């Protein structure tokens, strides 16, 4: 008998004392999960017929002992069944479920987690360890903020991490690893938030002060713009943003000069960010109308282009021409700054126009979660 994780190949030879059989009956049942200390009490027996002396039993449970019998059958009756036993190899542990934060073990610097432990029927091997790590939310490039191994016992159902930062979100990663087979597919994640204060015997502990920086935002509007002019020049003066309303590092000023008596082209149409999630951004722009027409035909649709600050190439949003001037770009990377531009496509040989001015937005760090 040749075993694998979920299959056993059975072969046999016919005794010289037996007449040639018409077929064979194979009966097999789960005798014992090898991680359990005792055999099955009410095993289910499966039966099949074959006319060959080799058969591959499939769909078996990993790390299990099976009882297998083979009986030869012809027109005069059946032979005595031949009984054998064979074990399947270790397989992937079952997924870990019901992972959640333990509020009784949560304080400003501590997080406790619980989960449904594995058992002898679903560990599918000799357990090596549970491997648990916590990451500060949105930090995937550095080392885990905490890690621990729980060795040699699949009945573990809780863990706690100490020395954490108060008022901070952490995400738990938990793996179960058994002998001979190491899988990452059985990873289960849970999110916990450290408390701000803890209450012990009715008295509230002192809060821990936490200092953090908000991300850069849009500068406040520039006011007090004045100018002087000659016959062929204009000189503009404005008040520089202060440290209170700059809201970031000043990269420079963007100055646009246009004739207000001329109708604005689509290139000056404002792009407005309507909604931002962790993986999508919705924008809207001023649609074409007759005021925007330069005699080259009406706009029949739009295209959206976007890129990150680390990208040199500009990506085009998938799909056909966009009719509605409101559009959502999906499958973005969370906590990332994106720039957006829009082009208008017109009928006739003009085709797609030039890129509009840039609008920027950053995807959120954390989206809504059902975990």
Per-residue pLDDT tens, the chain, 371 aa: give them. 556 889 999 999 887 766 788 999 999 999 999 999 999 999 999 999 999 999 999 999 999 999 999 999 988 889 889 999 999 998 888 888 888 888 888 888 888 999 989 899 988 888 888 888 888 876 656 678 888 999 889 899 999 999 888 778 888 888 888 876 665 655 555 556 555 443 334 344 444 333 344 445 566 666 667 777 777 777 878 777 766 566 666 667 766 665 544 434 555 557 888 888 888 999 988 776 655 555 555 678 888 888 887 776 788 887 778 888 889 999 888 888 888 888 887 766 567 777 777 888 888 877 544 33
Architecture of domain 265-362: Sandwich (2.60)
The predicted model scores a pTM of 0.50
Q: How many other CB atoms are found less than 10 A from the CB of residue 284?
A: 17
CATH 2.60.40.10 domain residues, the chain: 2-87, 97-199, 265-362
Q: Quick one: which H or E segment has residue 245?
A: helix 243-246
Task: Yes or no: say if 299 and 323 are a contact pair by the CB < 8 Å rule.
Answer: no
As assigned by CATH, the class of the 97-199 domain is mainly beta
As assigned by CATH, the class of the 2-87 domain is mainly beta
**CA–CA dist 304, 310 (Å, integer):** 19
**CA–CA dist 125, 89 (Å, integer):** 8
**3-state DSSP call for residue 267?**
helix
């Amino acid at each position: 008998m040749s075993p694998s994780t979920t299959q056993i190949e059975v072969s046999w030879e016919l005794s010289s004392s037996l007449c040639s059989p018409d077929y064979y009956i194979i009966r097999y049942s789960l005798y014992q999960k090898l991680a359990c200390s005792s055999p099955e009490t009410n095993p289910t027996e499966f039966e099949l017929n074959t006319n060959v002396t080799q058969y591959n039993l499939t769909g078996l449970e990993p790390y299990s002992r099976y009882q297998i019998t083979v009986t030869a059958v012809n027109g005069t009756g059946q032979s005595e069944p031949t009984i054998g036993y064979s074990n399947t190899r270790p397989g992937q542990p079952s997924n870990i479920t019901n992972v959640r934060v333990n509020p009784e073990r949560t304080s400003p610097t501590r997080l406790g987690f619980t989960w449904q432990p594995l058992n002898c029927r679903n560990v599918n091997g000799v357990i090596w360890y549970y491997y648990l790590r916590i990451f500060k939310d949105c930090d995937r490039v550095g080392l885990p903020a905490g890690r621990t191994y729980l060795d040699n016992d699949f009945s573990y159902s809780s863990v706690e991490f100490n020395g954490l930062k108060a008022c901070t979100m952490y995400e738990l990663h938990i793996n179960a690893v058994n002998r001979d087979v190491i899988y990452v597919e059985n990873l289960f994640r849970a999110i916990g938030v450290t408390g701000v204060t803890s209450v012990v015997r009715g008295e509230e502990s002192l809060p821990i002060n936490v200092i953090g920086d908000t991300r850069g935002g849009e500068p406040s509007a520039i006011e007090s713009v004045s100018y002087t002019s000659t016959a062929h020049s204009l000189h503009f003066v404005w008040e520089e943003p202060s440290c209170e309303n700059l809201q970031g590092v000043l990269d420079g000023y963007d100055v646009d000069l246009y004739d207000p008596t001329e109708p604005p082209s689509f290139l000056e149409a404002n792009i407005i960010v309507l909604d931002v999630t962790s993986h999508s951004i919705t924008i809207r722009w001023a649609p074409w109308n007759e005021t925007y027409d330069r005699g080259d035909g009406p706009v029949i649709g739009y295209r959206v282009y976007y890129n990150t600050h680390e990208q040199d190439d500009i990506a085009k949003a998938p799909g056909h021409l966009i009719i509605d001037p409101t559009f959502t770009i999906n499958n973005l990377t969370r906590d990332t700054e994106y720039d957006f531009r829009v082009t208008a496509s017109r009928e006739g040989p003009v085709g797609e126009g030039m890129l509009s001015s840039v609008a920027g937005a950053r995807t959120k760090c954390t989206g809504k979660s059902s975990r």
